[in-house]
Amino acid sequence: MSVSKRVQQLTPSATLATAAKAQQLKDQGIDVISLTLGEPDFHTPKHIQQAAIQAITDGVASFYTASTGMKQLKQGILDRTKADIGVAYELDEVVVTHGAKFGLYSLFQALLDPEDEVIIPAPYWVSYVEQVKLAEGVAKKLVPKSAHQFKVTLAELEALRSEKTKALVLTSPSNPTGAVYTKEELVDIGQWAVRHNIYIIADEIYGKLVYNGMVFHSLASLGEQIKKQILLINGVSKAYSMTGWRIGYVLGDQEIIAGIGAVASQATSNPATVSQYAALEALTGPQDKVEEMRLAFEERLNVIYPLVKALPGVKLTKPEGAFYLFPDVKETVALCGYSDTQSFVDALLEEAHVAVVAGAGFGAPDHIRLSYATDLETLKEAVKRMQHFIEKKS
């Protein structure tokens, strides 16, 4: 085998794999509804598109930028961060990356030595564990006992902490559960990180997408001491409907940020210049489209949540943010006569033409993830198909 051991050990993204399977069926002309991807269905707002077109016609998009991103975009990120969460960072404390995903990848490369441990609470976004492995770190998965949306407790963190614990990943709002940590919970976890000098990789990419009165708090906003431990991940993909543009950013300790810049300088040179101009407009231009899209997600959540919850055997807590439902389908799977969630998910795709992602890739094998970042009619049709499928099988 000529493929490296490192890559042999890699598990490809479950989400992208299921999405690809759904696309294959679509290519055969089958009417598949795919609720797999974490991708808003809205087009990037017009004023952002326009800024990108302008950058192309002005000629500025033709060239490389600094590998850590354009200065004016970094300033735009600092201003947006100050406006959104009330926290001030300096220019050498921010790096622009090729999506938040590469921000995380290069952060783990810059932060971890072999054997360094990273605590990753389950259910987790599919890429953290694999990215830690690629950086030769050790991913310590934590499966919270709490039935309440899987939030971690201090006792659980403490039980997993060791001398080698370098970082904790905390995603709030969470992909896949949609859980949002309260200020009090975050303060407790932040103080724990300060006490033990552990970095918290705070993935706040869904920070603008909270619903039904829930308030989002950034870990970086909880005082200077906690802020020092925080490596803040964000980007334009979700809130600005810009997944294809690939712009994310990391904020935090100047040395680690410089390390990420060094990785990027050898890996990507710079995030696409045209996308940086688009992101600059997104972050510094009018913000009303963000709220419009948030309201659309909120409406979809409020319509779709009770329908999914009412499916036979399904257990589901109402999410407070992001755009996913993550129901426990253990009983449903058994009711339909399948031995595991993946077989249920495969049959649902092949027979009912609804694509969802099995929970195993997120560290919660009894669950499935449905993205509700699609229009209401499609969502209702998907649930109808699921209902028929379950009734037929049980």
Q: Which residues bind ligand PLP (CB under 6 A)?
A: 38, 99-101, 125, 171, 175, 203, 205, 235, 237, 243, 248
Nearer to ligand PLP, 77 or 100 (CB): 100
Which residue's CB is nearer to ligand PLP, number 89 or number 125? Answer: 125
Residue 91 and residue 78 in contact, taking contact as beta carbons nearer than 8 Å = yes
CB of 92 to ligand PLP, least distance (A): 22
**In the complex, what is the shortest distance from the CB of residue 357 to ligand PLP, in angstroms, rounded to a whole number?**
11
Interacting residues of 228 by C-beta distance below 8 A, sequence separation 6+: 194, 253
Q: With the C-alpha atoms ordered 187, 192, 194, 199, is the resulting torsion angle positive or negative?
A: negative
Say if strands 117-121 and 33-34 run parallel, antiparallel, or are unpaired.
unpaired
Nearest approach in angstroms of CB 124 to ligand PLP is 9
* Smallest gap from residue 245 Cβ to ligand PLP (A): 9
- Dihedrals φ, ψ of 284, to 5°? -110, -15
What's the gap between Cα 386 and its chain centre?
A: 25
Among residues 107 and 226, whose Cβ is nearest to ligand PLP?
A: 107
3-state secondary structure of 234: strand
Provide the minimum distance between the beta carbon of 235 and ligand PLP in the complex, in angstroms, as a whole number.
Answer: 4
CA distances from residue 2 to 5, 9, 13, 134, 221 in whole angstroms, order as listed: 9, 13, 22, 18, 48
* Neighbour count for residue 54 (Cβ, 10 Å): 14
Spell out a b/e string for 357-386, using b for 16 or more CB atoms within 10 Å of the CB, else e: bbbbbbbbbbbbbbbbbbeeeebeebbebb
Compute the distance between CA of residue 304 and CA of residue 178 in angstroms, rounded to an integer.
Answer: 14
Residue 200, amino acid:
I
Residue with smaller CB distance to ligand PLP, 178 or 248: 248
In the complex, what is the shortest distance from the CB of residue 177 to ligand PLP, in angstroms, rounded to a whole number? 11
Cα–Cα distance for residue pair 237/243, rounded to 1 Å? 4
CB closer to ligand PLP out of 67 and 237: 237
Q: How far is the CB of 321 from ligand PLP (least distance, A)?
A: 11
The residue (of 203 and 281) whose beta carbon lies closer to ligand PLP is 203
Q: Of 203 and 328, which CB lies nearer to ligand PLP in the complex structure?
A: 203
Q: Is the dihedral of CA 281, 287, 289, 294 positive or negative?
A: positive
CB of 386 to ligand PLP, least distance (A): 23
Nearer to ligand PLP, 178 or 235 (CB): 235
Cβ-proximal residue to ligand PLP, closest one: 99
